[in-house]
Each structure stands twice: as structure tokens, then as C-alpha cells.
Amino acid sequence: MGNVGKWTLVAALCGAACAKGTGDDDKKIVVDTPPDAGPPSNPGNNPPPDAGVPDPPPDAGTPAKAVFGTPGPWPLANVTYGATDGIQESPVVGVSTDEPVNQVDGTITQNLWVATNQALYLLRPGDKQFTRFDGNDGLHLPGFPAAYCHEKDGSSPGLDRSSPGPCPNGDAAPPGISEIVGGGSGDGYLGEVFVGYWAFHTWDPNDGTYLDPWRHNGKLDRVRIKADKSGNPILKDGKPQLELIRLDMVSNNSAEFWHNKSVLKMVYDHFINKHEMYVGCDHGITKISPDKWKESVGWFLAPENQQSWMSDHLHSQTCFHKKCEGEKDLRISNWRGLAVDANGDLWTGGRYAASRIRYVADNTIWWQTPRPNGGGNAHDPGLGDGYTGCFGSSTRPVFCPPLEGDPVNISATTITKDGKIWFASGTLFHEPQDVPYGIASLTRNDATGQNTFAYYDPVRDVGLAQSDVRDMIALPDGRLAVAGLQGGLVIWDPATGNRVSMGAAQGISDDKVLRMQLDTMVEPPALQIATRSGATILRVLP
């Protein structure tokens, strides 16, 4: 088991969907595709600017009690996984674990999930090889559309569970899977993972509206391992059986708008606001409360139905070369940077802007800004609008582009133990205005509203081989793991400047790192690294 040892403009009319300040009429937005993760189906197109408390789900059971702080069931040494472990394709685009659970006999179980563009892989404690799942197992990969979906009138003939479709274009666009993140566990199932997909865009004025034939394309699946009444996995031909729930993101206040289609980043809160999940997309950010999911009865966007478990969508804003006036010339897209802080608030970074989204549990409220009943702005601070230059501007979009609305290409957001928020910049399209801006830290003083920024050069200060940062994640000891486009990653201490490079020669499966996650549910934590040719789990860091 393993080897132990060593989106440029996207047009999408928003209209009423953004009436609460999340909107983007006449906007210019971008949906970028990370290199080597696979391009969308129409790369290179340059579109014109566009204008109550729910009942628990009846079949999900009560969540099992997760046990944090143990070593977990996985090796304490560093391990790499690849073709010899049953992973049939490359690149690996995601590595994640769900919550460790204490079994009746006292053992700790936890599932290890790995994804390529074409398949999802599961390794359970004791398994010698990964189990592979694809469209034939229910994943909504290209060519495997969902059996049903809701429409603007609730449910149309042939589009609901009583009269299966399939859902028009209710599958992923090539290359398929874009991102995964592990979730929780509960009675009736043995762990879960969320699978995000790439979507197809036309970039015409109907893109992302109810007139878009691809409005159901992409999105994400909730994937759970089925269990019998004794708590054992349900097997067929020796293969664990999955339950899949497709989560079709649509604006809360109107079924006219289906902007969020491609999934670029997901984070799952295991600790603070437990079992809340955030999805960074091509347009905005969606909050999903999986434990509140249930089938809709009646109008699917009623507060007691889809809005009880989904809140779509929020995004901070900039405008094209001027301060925003209403919703004209907005630039919004590509939310690759998401991180939950110690208060449970969400720090976000996109291609043009950044913000902290203040937490509220009610999904009928979370998406709104300003929040109702004097709840204030959802974005506090909002970084990007009103930018007049780097010096003297606390509203800069973290980095300092020439003018408001020019891209800053935030590729990662993370938070160190001292409370500093860190942002990295990495270009995707390499257009003239798409330059990498390096790494920045933000110290926020909520008492005064002061934002203090510091900037670092990825080559000079961190030791990367190039200025573009692909991913970055904070480690519990205050250091940062920073990955560039090539050359593996660097473990960097911002306080001392000390740095250690790690690549294929030091036990990582490949010098080309595509994505990182950190499992802090186990001790020592596990740095999970997806690379061009395999997956690496680091439990021992230099």
C-alpha cells in the first residue's frame, strides 16, 4: 500500500440574482482553468462583457462522532501512491480525507480519497489497493448526466424523480473532475467526499441563465459509502456501494440564474461551524450545509427546501477601471482562494477581488449583502472596490494592479496560527494584464478597521523557481507550504526566512504539484499533495 519513505472574460447576466449586492449586471467576469487540470471545453474564447429551521434529512441519520487528535489509521511515515496502488490515470487533481470515526471495537477508521479527472478513488484502512469509481458507479462525469434536475418552474415533465430525464446536460464537461474535499460521517453511511466538476460555457448573454442549455452542467456530487444496519459497507462484487446526491447550484432568490457551474475550490469546516462547506466557483461562492440536505417537496427554492441547505452566491467586487456604481462593469470570477478563520468566517480570493465573508448559519440569509434587519455587509472587509492605488488604499484587492478591475489572480488563501491571512497570486491565461503578484499577508484589526499588508517575492524570499504560485497552505507550526508551477514545494518560515525545498528527490510523487490540503483532524497532521503523477501524504516534515 503506497510507497513509504521518502476563467479572459466570461459573460453571464445576473440581474435579479444580484439585487442584494451579489449581482453583476453588465459585468465582465473571468473563468480560468488551472494548467494541467484540464481546460474547459471551449478554451481561448473571449466572451463580451455582460451585463426556518429545516427538518433533518430522513435518510441521513445522525452524524457519527468524529474523533480528532489521534494518529488515525494511516502510516506516520511519508507515503506516495500511484499506479502500483491502483490509480490508473494522471494527473491526480485532489487528495483528501473524511472524518476519523471511533468504531465499536475502539479502532479509528478514516477514508482516503484521491481523484483524477476521470475517476474517484477510495482507500479504506486495511485495503491493499484503491477502489476506482467512475460514471458507471454514478458519478456525473462527461456522458453520465443526472437522472433528474429542477427547472425554473420547479419540476418539468421528464425532469423530476417521478419521471426521470435525464437532466439536460446534467453532467461534467471534459476533462471531468476538478476538485474533491472530504466530509463527515453518520449513521447509514461510512464517510463521504464531495466531488466538483468542470462545466461548459458559451459566454453568450444567456450563459448561466435559465435560457442556457448548459445551466445544469458541471456542479458537484455528494458521494457517500452505503452501510447496512450493522454498520458494515454494502458490497457488490466486493466493491463498496455509493450513494450519490447531485448538488445543482442555483441562485437563492430566482431560478432564472445558474451562474456557478465549474468548481475551482472547496473547503469543509470540521471544527468551528461543523459540517459547513464552501464552494469557490467560476462566478461566486456557495455555502452548502450537507447535513440539512433533503428532497424538495413543492417549490424547490422555498426556504424549507433547497434554500435550507444551499446559499448561492456571494462575491466581493471590483469594477472596470473605476469605483463601482450599482452593477455596471463588475469584474468577478475564479474563486480559487478559500480559508476558514478561527471565528468560522470565510476569507476568499478571486481573480479580481478578495474579502472576508461573515458567517451566518441561516442559508436564506448568508448569500445576501447587505444582510437583512441591519445585519450589515456580508463582506467585511471587501477588498477591491474603491481602489485608487497601492499607497494609502486599504481597499486594495490584496495586491496592487495598475487600476481597479485589473486581475490580481489570487490562486490560494490560507491563515497562519497568528491570525494573518495569506494570499498567493498565480496566472492562468497569461494575457498581458495577467501577471503574478507574489505572496501577501494581511493583518486585520477589526477594532479600527485597519488592514496592514506585507509582500513577499516567491523566488527571492520563498525559494520557488518561478513567480507563479499554484497553491499555498498554512502549517500548524506557523510555516507555509508553497507550491509553484514546477520544482515541487517549499516549506517556508515567514518569521525566520528559513526554507526547505521538497520534490521528487525528497519523496514527493512528482515535481509538479497541482493541489494541496491539510488534514488537521489527525495528529500529526497530514499534508495531502496531488501531483502530475500521483499522490503524496506527508506526516513528517523537515
Residue 77 is assigned to a structural domain of this protein: no
> Could you tell me the three cell numbers for 439?
505572496
Residue 511 is assigned to a structural domain of this protein: no
Residue 114 is assigned to a structural domain of this protein: yes
CA 327 to each of CA 33, 330, 358, 394, 408: distance values in angstroms, whole numbers, following the listed order: 26, 6, 22, 22, 20
Rounded Cα–Cα distance for residues 263 and 252 (Å)? 18
Residue 216 is assigned to a structural domain of this protein: yes
Q: Is 83 helix (H, G, I), strand (E, B) or coil?
A: helix
127 lies in which domain range? 3-52+102-456
Domain harbouring 302, CATH code: 2.130.10
Residue 521 is assigned to a structural domain of this protein: no
Number of domains observed in the structure of the chain = 1
For residue 516, give the nearest of 492, 484, 542, 540 by alpha carbon. 484
CA 254 to each of CA 38, 82, 209, 238, 289: distance values in angstroms, whole numbers, following the listed order: 31, 44, 10, 44, 20
Rounded Cα–Cα distance for residues 491 and 525 (Å)? 15
Rounded Cα–Cα distance for residues 503 and 537 (Å)? 13
For each of the chain's 542 residues, which pLDDT tens digit applies? 565 443 333 333 344 444 333 333 333 333 333 333 333 333 333 333 333 333 444 344 444 578 999 999 999 999 999 999 999 999 999 999 999 998 878 899 999 999 999 999 999 999 999 999 999 999 999 999 998 888 877 654 355 555 667 888 999 999 999 999 999 987 789 999 999 999 999 989 999 999 999 999 999 999 999 998 888 899 999 999 999 999 999 999 899 999 999 999 999 999 999 999 999 999 999 999 999 999 888 889 999 999 999 999 899 999 999 999 987 899 999 999 999 999 999 999 999 999 999 999 999 999 999 999 999 999 999 999 999 998 877 889 999 999 999 999 999 999 999 999 999 999 987 788 899 999 999 999 999 999 999 999 999 999 999 999 999 999 999 999 999 999 999 999 999 999 999 999 999 999 999 999 999 999 999 999 999 999 999 999 99
Residue 423 is assigned to a structural domain of this protein: yes
β pairing state of 101-102 and 108-109:
antiparallel
Main-chain dihedrals φ then ψ at residue 17, nearest 5 degrees:
-60, -20
Q: Which residues pair with 478 in a beta bridge?
A: none
Residue 293 is assigned to a structural domain of this protein: yes
List, in order, residues 6 or more apart from 97 with CB less than 8 Å away.
110, 111, 112, 113, 182, 519, 521, 522, 526, 528
Contacts of range 186-189, beta carbons closer than 8 Å, 24 or more positions apart = 186/60, 186/61, 186/62, 186/63, 186/64, 186/291, 187/60, 187/61, 187/62, 187/63, 187/64, 187/227, 188/59, 188/60, 188/61, 188/226, 188/227, 189/60, 189/61, 189/224, 189/225, 189/226, 189/227, 189/243
CB 449 within 8 A of CB 383: no
